């Protein structure tokens, strides 16, 4: 009696894509309860990528402007300073979803609020939006 090895098949596909700078990323999951053929798999992958690229190319809706944030509120976040005595630092993105949303809606992937510039940071090969960093904006002293 020879035991026949069960045939393996793909029953799930996750398609991920994002902007090169990491400012936006999307993920779509397809489930194939019956398994899938190579053609069905490839079609789902292409449809997923097309949908994500469409989302990435959309401009933010004018009907839903990004919320305005108070610099004092942002100062109260649990910033971890890069260097003692300096004001530049970082915070986990999940600690400030409103700020993350403002950055996502910005065309340049960064925003200036009050005395700081805010942008996403994190490992490029992992989660490039894991943190939000802030850098003080240097203002010119004296007459200009």
pLDDT in tens, the chain (144 residues): 556 665 666 778 888 888 777 777 888 888 877 777 888 888 888 888 888 878 777 665 544 455 678 889 999 999 999 988 888 999 999 998 889 989 988 888 899 999 999 999 988 777 888 899 999 997 544 444
**Inter-residue contact 53 to 17 (CB < 8 Å):** yes
pTM listed for this prediction: 0.52
Residue 26: beta bridge partners? 17
- Cα–Cα distance list, 54 to 1, 105, 135 (Å): 54, 15, 32
Whole-number Å distance between alpha carbons of 119 and 108:
9
Report the pLDDT value the prediction gives residue 113, as an integer from 0 to 100: 92
Report the pLDDT value the prediction gives residue 142, as an integer from 0 to 100: 45
């Amino acid at each position: 009696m020879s035991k026949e090895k069960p045939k393996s098949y793909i029953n799930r596909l996750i398609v991920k894509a994002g902007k090169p700078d990491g400012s936006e990323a999307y993920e779509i999951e397809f489930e194939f309860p019956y398994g899938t053929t190579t053609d069905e798999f490839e079609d789902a992958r292409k449809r997923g990528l097309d949908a994500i690229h469409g989302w990435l190319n959309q401009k933010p809706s004018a009907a839903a402007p990004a919320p305005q944030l108070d610099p004092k509120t942002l100062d109260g976040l649990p910033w971890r300073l890069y260097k003692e005595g300096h004001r530049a630092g970082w915070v986990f993105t999940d600690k400030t979803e409103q700020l993350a949303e403002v950055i996502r809606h910005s065309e340049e992937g960064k925003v200036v609020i009050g005395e700081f510039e805010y942008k996403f940071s994190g490992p490029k090969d992992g989660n490039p939006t894991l943190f939000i960093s802030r850098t003080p904006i240097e203002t010119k002293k004296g007459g200009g």
